[in-house]
Structures are given as C-alpha cells and as structure tokens.
Structure 1
Amino acid sequence: MIEVKGVTKKFGKLVAVDDVSLTVGPGEVYGFIGPNGAGKSTTMKVLACLLTPDSGTALVDGFDVTKDGDKIRRILGYMPDVLGVYDDLTVEEYLHFFASAFGLPRKNRKGTIAGVLELTDLTEKKQSMVDSLSRGMKQRLGIARVLVHDPKVLLLDEPASGLDPLARIEMRELLTELARMGKALIVSSHILSELGEMATSIGIIERGKLLFSGSIEDAYRKMGVGDRVRVKIEEPDEMLIPVCAAIKNDARISSAEIQNSSLVIEFAPGQKSHHFLIELLIAKNIRIASFTPETPRLEDAFMSLTKGQVQ
C-alpha cells in the first residue's frame, strides 16, 4: 500500500530526510517516532505529494508520488500537525465543503457525511459551529474531513497533540477502528505510550535518518531487552536485599532491583521460561504474593535506539 525506498529530501544544505525506506500494508498502523525536526512531517509531505523527493521512490497503492499526484490524492487522506478550520461554518457545512472539494457527487454527500460523523462520534455536534468545539473534537473533525472521500491511506501528523487523556483514548480507538477497516495508516506522535498500544509497526527517525523500522517486538529485541516481571513477596522488606543479590548472580537474569517493596526482574534476552525464578524463590523459603509480567515501554526502545547513533 505504501512503499518508500531510499527517499532523500534536501532544503539547501539541510538534509531533512536521508535515504529513508519503509513499507505499510492494508490494516497496518505505522507509528512514526522522532523528535521535532527529525523528518517525520517532511516524509509525510512527500507521500502526500506536497514535496518532491530529490532521490529515491515513494509509491502509494502502486502510484508514484512524482508522476501520479492526482491519482494518489483520490485515495489518500492527509491531516497535518496544524489543522486549519473555517470557524464560521457548522461541522456539517465544513464537511460538505470538503466533500465538494473532493468531487463527491451531490447525491452521495449527505449519506457519506452522516457516516463519517457517526464514525468520529460527532453526529450530535453536526449543527455546532466549528469554533465552539473543544480541541479533541476539532481533532476528530480533522479525521472526519480526511475520511469524506473514503481514502485507502491515511497520513496523520500528531493527531493526539494537545488532547486530554480521555480524548487521547477516544482518538486511539478511532484509529484502531480505521485500521480494522483495512486502511493503511502512518501516525506520528510524541506520545509514545499511545503508539505502543495501537501501532502494528514503528519507525524511529532522528535527524532525517531512519534508525529502525519494524515491529515493536523487533525493536525490543534489537535493544536487547528481555522479559520483565514484578514479584511481590510476603516477607519483611529487609528480606528483599539478600534475595535480590542472589537473583542477580543467575546468568538467566539481566537485572534485578527493588521498587516499592517488590522485586523488578529482567530476564536475559531470549530467556522465555520463567519457572526457574519461582523455583529459586521457593527454594529460599520466600513466599510469593504476586508474579506479574511487565511489558517493556516504547520510550525505552526509543531512547536505546536513538542514543548516539546519529551525530
């Protein structure tokens, strides 16, 4: 659906995007991660046919961004990080305007707009003035706008920016639903925990270079992170210190530390069997209150994979 090979984009001497390659298929959510100025927005603008790459190729559903711009625009929805709205229109009028701009036949507009309003949970706001909407509702309206022509591909630049926790959850659920519909999504965000919960794959970019592209699990493997568990024991806190020291000596354990009256233990990469740890604790007459697996954080992968790799 989206195929980028060796794309480079320069602005004078500044290399904004440097030999970037990535692929995104139907039903996939590609989380695009990087600091401000890393090249995320520039890459999206190339795919949206707003910028021409200096080298490399970028295909959207088989169409070349340098030759087939009109065809790509019919199947692509692009939401920039700063979304302009017409404040003197109602929500419904705003969507009618863009449906007309996308060339939807007049007879189909009413039904199409009703559908995207329902999908984005804005039906009850259709007669509200755009300038009366909250930030979260304006972001959802931005999603509705890029959906009126039913695109196969969505490029969403910081769609959760500035949203409160509830609005971020609602946005995540909406994007997950769009992926279930078979659309290919590239979503950039600084809120890495949100991407970790909905992305099927990620790309980590810094100073124009794509440092990693693949599944989140592959990112964890590349950074050498093993499985992690939190063990709560039914013993006095002073018992944690010798137990922690003993566990650290096992070659199957990467690290062990005490946090909030619990042991947080990271297994060596590739170590999938955890039974030995339970047996080790029982052998030391330690009573286990709980044994809870913990998922590595996407923030950890980002910090590990970007550290010192781009100068």
Structure 2
Amino acid sequence: MKILVTGYTGQLGFDVVQHGLKLGLDMVGVGSKDLDITNPVDVNDYVKELNPDAIIHCAAYTAVDKAEDDQNACWNVNVEGTKNLAQAAKDINAKFMYISTDYVFNGEGEFSFKETDKPNPIGFYGLTKYDGEQVVQQLLDHWFIVRISWVFGINGNNFVKTMLRLAESRNELNVVGDQIGSPTYTFDLARLLIYMIQTDKYGIYHASNEGFCSWAEFAEEIFRQANLDVKVNSISTEEYPTRAVRPKNSRMSKQKLVDNGFAPLPVWQDAVKRYLMEISQEVK
C-alpha cells in the first residue's frame, strides 16, 4: 500500500511515516517545502503522478493565536489546502484521512463530546478545521475524519518539551488548571491511523490517549516522572490571557473507536513515561 502523508515535518506526520515504514508500507511524506497544498495545480499534478492508495492529511496551520490575525494564511492551508488534496484523492480514487481537532467544539460543559455532536468552534483556527471537515464530507463518498488533542511527539515543539525547558531555569510555574483534555502521544496515534487507513471503517473518530487532565496536572505529571522539583501553581484561563480563546472542555468520547474494533490508546500517563524515555535517548 502506498500512502502519501502531508505535514511530514510536523510531529504527527513524522511518526505516521515512520510507523508505516516499519510495517513495510510504501510511505511518502511531504512538508510545505516539498508541496504547496494551497496550489491546486501543484497538488493535482503531484498526486496524479504519485498515485497513492491513500492520503493521510496531517498538514495544518496550527498557530492558534496567530490565526486570529493571519486569517487568510490559516484559511488557505486548512480549508483550501484540504479541498485541493481531497479533490486529488477523489480523482484517483484514493482513500482520504483528514486530521482534525478538539477545537471544533465550543468547550462548554463538563461532558465528553461525541463524534455526533455538532461542532461550534470559538476561534478562527477551530473554524477552519471544521470547514475542512465539511469540505471532505462534501467532496468524498468515503473518508476518515480523526479529531485529536494536546499532541506531543519527538519531531517538533510541544507542551512536554516546553515544561522541561522552563524547568531548567525555574522551580515554580503557573499553569492553566481549568482547561481539561487528553494528551496525545503521536507514536501511539500514528499506529492507530496506519491501522485505520487500511480498513473500510469510514467516518468521524475521536482519538487521544485515555484519561483526562488539566494542563496543570499534565505539567505536574511531567515533572514527577522526570524527577524534577518544580512547583506547579494551577491558575485560571482568565489569569493567562491569549489572543485566541481556548476551549475549557476538550474532553472527547472515544467510544466509536471501540465500537468499530479499534483498540483504545494507552492512558496518557503511560504515554508521558514512554515519551520521556524516547527524548532522553535522543539527547544521548
């Protein structure tokens, strides 16, 4: 099976390609320097020549705060880019998987959002990702949409690396404690996506490591496992203002994964443990 993966220079795209290669699949990863997904002619020509069996679309404009002011760039990547890739997939009858986000929801309440709940994004980034979902559903007959949250992986910057870096010079940190969600280790997620794309179990899925926590609890667990003596002060969202509004409730139900025979990802604390081991080996 030949699989084209966009966003190869990012955390998830990198791990998706690496896992596919381990399984002996024909993986082709592209970054923005390899293929401008906002250019429909380039995308059409590239995909037709490559002729993959499937496309896993991980590329996205993910600078949430910057997106509020740089709306054209965000829209072009997340909506137009997705449209170009989906159309190209349709033309060659390739499977298509679109990676979406918890930001498509408004973050209200304390329940877990189901795959069937109607999205209602509160920021421009979330709006473009939801519009991307709609483009995929309108253009294609068979598709996968996988919503993910709080991603961390080996290839790129993330919350875990930021906490470890800050711990080098600080012994006390203020971290938001009223936003709740599920951390997601791209190594675990990549395995699921590669397995899923080889099936015909199409539809919308939520995928993250099991369990919920706040960013403050996430930070505490990172420091605990890394044996770092750093005090975490849990603060409110209002005490840490950002350009874009963040959803306070990013809990997502993953029941559909189980219902369709996919194994849930490991608990997030276990994912943190394995990730810390992975990045410690990188340092060596």
TM-score when scaled to structure 2?
0.31
In proportion to residue count, which structure has more strand?
A: 1
Structure richer in helix, relative to its length? 2
The structure whose Rg is larger is: 1
How does the TM-score come out when normalised to structure 1? 0.29
